[in-house]
Structure 1
Amino acid sequence: MSGFVRARGTFAALATAGAAVTALLAAPSAVAAPQPVVGGSTTTTGAYPFVMQITDASQNQFCGGTLVSPTKVVTAAHCMAGETPRSVRVVGGRTYRNGTDGTVVRVDRIWVHPGYTRVTDGDDVAVLTLSAPMPHTPVKYVSSSDTSVYAAGTTARVLGWGTTRENGAASQQLRTATVPVVSDASCRGSYGSGFVASDMVCAGLASGGVDTCQGDSGGPLVIGGVLAGITSWGEGCARAGQPGVYSRLTTFSGLVAAQVASQPRARDT
């Protein structure tokens, strides 16, 4: 793999074989502005109430997340690198990154997949347990048997507050776009050994132009109204022949279910 690889969260530089991997994060320690969905359109958290902002303690958004139960949020493992429950907040019902509305909840516990090391190795999934329930509607997530959702050409929806172009300015408003699922063979042709089919799924147009980007890490890939993936990484943003790479949630649904079943400690927000 060569070129500039983004890990779609804060503009985080993650070393990988011969390439600078940037998680699609928008972390406060980032060296460049976070970026929103490329080639999409603006939308609201009223339309997608399960989409969460993940912020630092000062409510600066650096990743996205998906509410899958009143107290559980699924996000990317790379979003949680160096974070502690004390350093993170989850904000629901806030369409604008710089808004003051919505519901801000502290994090009680962070679970990161124990096998995670870096985005291009897979296992890029984390679950946040909130200290109080979110008053917003969760979304269902895939089970381990739902592998047919990833059929090539299937339409998927992505959402996030990332940049609207590679290395561009941050979007203040939540954005969304639809992209087709890419076959494993085609994705392997784009990323070679960097694509781990058991853990990852690709989505994007062969011609490029529509994609997630920096700042979108951890956000949802929704197929048929169900959470099927987590925004993870890619080479550049919206480049032809370089689709976005998402965590294949069917692989991790059992682990996510175990976290969803665990109970948060009682604690004030």
Structure 2
Amino acid sequence: MAKTLRRLITSLAAAVAAVGLMTTAPASASTADDVSPFVVGGSRVSTSTYPWVVYLATSSGGQFCGGTLVGATKVVTAAHCVSGRSASSTRVVHRRDDKQSTAGTVATVSRIWVHPSYRTASSGYDVAVLTLGTSLPSPYLPLATPSDTALYAAGTNATILGWGTTSSGGSASRYLLGATVPVTSDATCRTAYSNYSATAMVCAGYPQGGVDTCQGDSGGPLVAGGKLIGATSFGRGCAQAGYPGVYSRIATYYSEITAQL
């Protein structure tokens, strides 16, 4: 079963073709066969509506992952996006709907925290926190807490966002895209992925597929009830029937993330 990081590696190549800015491959490329996502079946949305969604870029401007502003200087993303990367080679782009524009702010990163138990996305612990070199005066998104069990109930509508590809292996989107997907049951996700952990992960997607995150969306938000409940992690292809997207379960890592804020 081919799993894709969501979605990182394929999105890097797509970013080169679509934007022409990618010059540096991520140090975590060795885990390419472990992960993949961008918003398939989505529509164009704006950072005016979702002011806390950001994307990660190389120092030369190439977008490779997503993230969520959870404090004035803090961004939650996926560990597989930044594991092995240096802070000096990483940028966070805020309030830029169109990747080809100069809108918004490009913030430097002063520190990268990767969950110490992270090894591969499909093993769990796929969370990281970036500390920015400058404060971003913007609304930020609260984290789901261990008591927010209702937000993880099957059928809960959740929002996915990203600048990644719109089909598996396709070109990255120039614009921010968003979509709504239902949270799936643990049983459904376990059927799709034998390595699924209900403690470490949460799945979202339609049984028939068609809407999903994809390459380049890794680290981006899964949002329900006005809170960050997941960070885009991995999946089998993108938007395939029977294979929902897999997200890091933020509530599980609440204490460890907040310790970094």
CA distance in 2, matches of 1:255, 1:121: 17
Q: Which residue of 2 aligns with 1:176?
A: 178
CA distance in 1, matches of 2:153, 2:130: 29
Q: Report the 3-state secondary structure (helix = DSSP H, G, I; strand = E; otherwise coil) of the residue aligned with 2:183.
A: strand
Contiguous gaps of at least 5 residues in structure 1: 25-35, 261-269
Residue pair 2:165, 2:173 contacting (<8 A) in 1 also: yes
The code of the aligned residue for 1:241 comes to G
CA distance in 2, matches of 1:75, 1:51: 10
Q: Which residue of 1 aligns with 2:46?
A: 44
C-alpha deviations, 1:28-69, integer Å up to 9, x for none? xxxxxxxx3000100111111000111111121110000001
CA distance in 1, matches of 2:72, 2:36: 27
CA distance in 2, matches of 1:83, 1:15: 13
Q: Percent identity?
A: 53
Q: Which residue of 2 aligns with 1:219?
A: 220
Shift of 1:76: 0.2
Q: Report the 3-state secondary structure (helix = DSSP H, G, I; strand = E; otherwise coil) of the residue aligned with 1:259.
A: coil
Residue pair 1:14, 1:118 contacting (<8 A) in 2 also: no
Shift of 1:173: 0.2
Q: Report the 3-state secondary structure (helix = DSSP H, G, I; strand = E; otherwise coil) of the residue aligned with 1:251.
A: helix
C-alpha deviations, 1:212-254, integer Å up to 9, x for none? 0000000000001111100000000000000000000110011
TM-score by length of 2: 0.90
Contiguous gaps of at least 5 residues in structure 2: 11-28
Q: Which residue of 1 aligns with 2:23?
A: none
CA distance in 2, matches of 1:15, 1:96: 29
Shift of 1:82: 2.2
Give the one of 75, 82, 85 matched to 1:83.
85
The code of the aligned residue for 2:51 comes to P
The code of the aligned residue for 1:74 comes to V
Aligned CA-pair RMSD: 1.3
Q: Which residue of 1 aligns with 2:9?
A: 11
Residue pair 1:92, 1:136 contacting (<8 A) in 2 also: no
CA distance in 1, matches of 2:66, 2:181: 18
Q: Does 1:22 align with 2:35?
A: yes
Q: Which residue of 2 aligns with 1:149?
A: 151
Residue pair 1:11, 1:215 contacting (<8 A) in 2 also: yes
The code of the aligned residue for 1:92 comes to H
Shift of 1:121: 0.4
C-alpha deviations, 1:162-188, integer Å up to 9, x for none? 111111111100000000000001100
User: Within 5 Å, which residues of 2 pair with 1:1-269?
Assistant: 2=1, 4-11=2-9, 20-24=33-37, 36-192=38-194, 194-260=195-261
The code of the aligned residue for 2:229 comes to A
The code of the aligned residue for 1:21 comes to D
The structure 1 segments of at least 4 consecutive aligned residues displaced by more than 4 Å after TM superposition are: 12-16
The code of the aligned residue for 1:259 comes to Q
Residue pair 1:65, 1:75 contacting (<8 A) in 2 also: yes
- Say which structure is richer in strand: 1
CA distance in 2, matches of 1:141, 1:96: 26
Shift of 1:196: 1.2
Structure 1 7/255 Cα, relative in aligned 2: closer, same or farther at 3 Å?
Answer: same
CA distance in 2, matches of 1:21, 1:236: 11
Shift of 1:14: 5.3
Q: Which residue of 2 aligns with 1:267?
A: none
CA distance in 1, matches of 2:248, 2:136: 24
